[in-house]
Structure 1
Amino acid sequence: MQWKVALLTASDKGSRGEREDTSAQVIRELVEEELGGQIVDYRIVPDEQDEIMAAIIEMTEYYQADLVLTTGGTGLAPRDITPEATLKVIDREVPGLAEAMRMGALHKTRRAMLSRGVCGIRGSSLIVNLPGSPKGVHESLMAIMDQLPHALAILSGQHGDHNA
């Protein structure tokens, strides 16, 4: 199955056209090459909670994305509020994915422990917060890539969570 994937970048500079969105390019390549996914929506919004929330809601409800991958806004800076926005729109958390991303990246850089990204479910969509750097995106997404098809199949009702 080809999964419908939406990409959301939270970046003040990116939304003003002052910074190239290289992290989203890394995500696009990994989604297409590793997951076989189809990008159904892509946008850049400023680090504003309401705009991030609205984008996630539209991506899950209007575009019916199976997977929403966010990049940016997961650090410690005052305007890094992507996890808070995500928590307000999800139905349930999937903490194991966020933990696995941090653990996978921690082997490469000790700074991975500073990432506050969360993962969760909204309806039948999986939302995953990734760091803002291309390197962080790659390390984090590859740490969970092998589990995404199974998670998405469960969410889409293709098979139960205990099937082999």
Structure 2
Amino acid sequence: MSDPTALRGGIDETVGDEATFGVVTVSDRASAGVYEDLSGPAILNFFREAVKSSWRAVYRVIPDEKSEIESTLKTLCDKEGCCFIVTTGGTGPAPRDVTPEATEAVCSRMMPGYGELMRNISLRHVPTAVLSRQTAGMRGKSLILNLPGKPKAIRETIDEVFVSIPACIDLLEGPYIVTNEAVVKAFRPPGLIRQEKPAPAA
């Protein structure tokens, strides 16, 4: 993206820690410049609206090549230190839709509940959501989540799914993420909740 400030957001005046997010658009045509990527920016815009604590993002646009998806995910996890990586695109039944396979290849453990939840959400909007093969998994202390490819479907999905993401990242010993509750009210068991900093005296 041309504006580097778009890759940062949130504020420091919360109980949260700075988080690093990965955003990966998987698309032959977008990576070749045939059309502008709108899906990655939709995810970044969600972070700007929903995450109150400080964050930065690493954004990539790559083709539907399994080896390149795998190497990108490994770099974001192992070198960039992303606690949460979101992919968009490549989750359907078409021959070049290989994002789920690449995700599974780099993860040590899978989180099938996220795929089930995302399909249930999307099925409320379109019957072809049953064709989606979205999945999620963990690599080290990183959570990787496959989202749909269209901006509208991205927001329909991530606005609901993100409710549990901060707690999952807590359990992976990652940064403490504070959300803007007007957009997403994160759910945490009581033992994972930090107390807000007291307001300074007038």
TM-score (norm 2): 0.76
- Answer yes or no: is 1:70 the counterpart of 2:87: yes
What one-letter code is carried by the residue in structure 2 that aligns with 1:135?
Answer: K
- Answer yes or no: is 1:152 the counterpart of 2:180: no
**Structure 1: which 4+ aligned runs deviate by more than 4 Å?**
none
1:47 to 57, 64, 74: 64
Is the contact made by 2:21 and 2:55 (CA closer than 8 Å) also made in structure 1?
Answer: yes
- Answer yes or no: is 1:86 the counterpart of 2:103: yes
Can you give the 5+ residue segments of structure 1 that lack an aligned partner in the other structure? Answer: none
**Secondary structure in structure 1 of the residue aligned to 2:60:** strand
Is the contact made by 1:28 and 1:39 (CA closer than 8 Å) also made in structure 2?
Answer: no
TM-score (norm 1): 0.92
Can you give the 5+ residue segments of structure 2 that lack an aligned partner in the other structure? Answer: 1-15, 177-188, 193-202
What one-letter code is carried by the residue in structure 2 that aligns with 1:114?
Answer: L
Structure possessing the higher radius of gyration over alpha carbons: 2
> Please, which moves more after superposition, 70-79 or 25-34?
25-34
How do 1:129-144 residues align onto structure 2 when only pairs under 5 Å count?
129-144=146-161
Mapped partners of 1:88, 1:17: distance in 2: 27
- Answer yes or no: is 1:16 the counterpart of 2:47: no
1:4 to 20, 26, 43: 20
What one-letter code is carried by the residue in structure 2 that aligns with 1:33?
Answer: E
Q: Which residue of 1 aligns with 2:191?
A: 163
The change in CA–CA distance for 1:162 and 1:88 in structure 2 (over 3 A counts) is: farther
> Please, which moves more after superposition, 58-67 or 102-111?
102-111
Is the contact made by 1:100 and 1:144 (CA closer than 8 Å) also made in structure 2?
Answer: yes
Deviation string for 1:132-158 (max 9, x for gaps)? 111121112122111111111111267
What one-letter code is carried by the residue in structure 2 that aligns with 1:3?
Answer: A
Task: Report the RMSD for the aligned CA atoms in angstroms.
Answer: 2.0
Structure (1 or 2) with the greater helix fraction: 1
Mapped partners of 1:143, 1:23: distance in 2: 17
Aligned length: 164
Percent identity for Structure 1 against Structure 2: 37
Mapped partners of 1:14, 1:38: distance in 2: 25
Is the contact made by 1:7 and 1:39 (CA closer than 8 Å) also made in structure 2?
Answer: no
**Secondary structure in structure 1 of the residue aligned to 2:191:** coil
Is the contact made by 2:83 and 2:175 (CA closer than 8 Å) also made in structure 1?
Answer: no
Mapped partners of 1:94, 1:58: distance in 2: 20
Mapped partners of 1:157, 1:34: distance in 2: 18
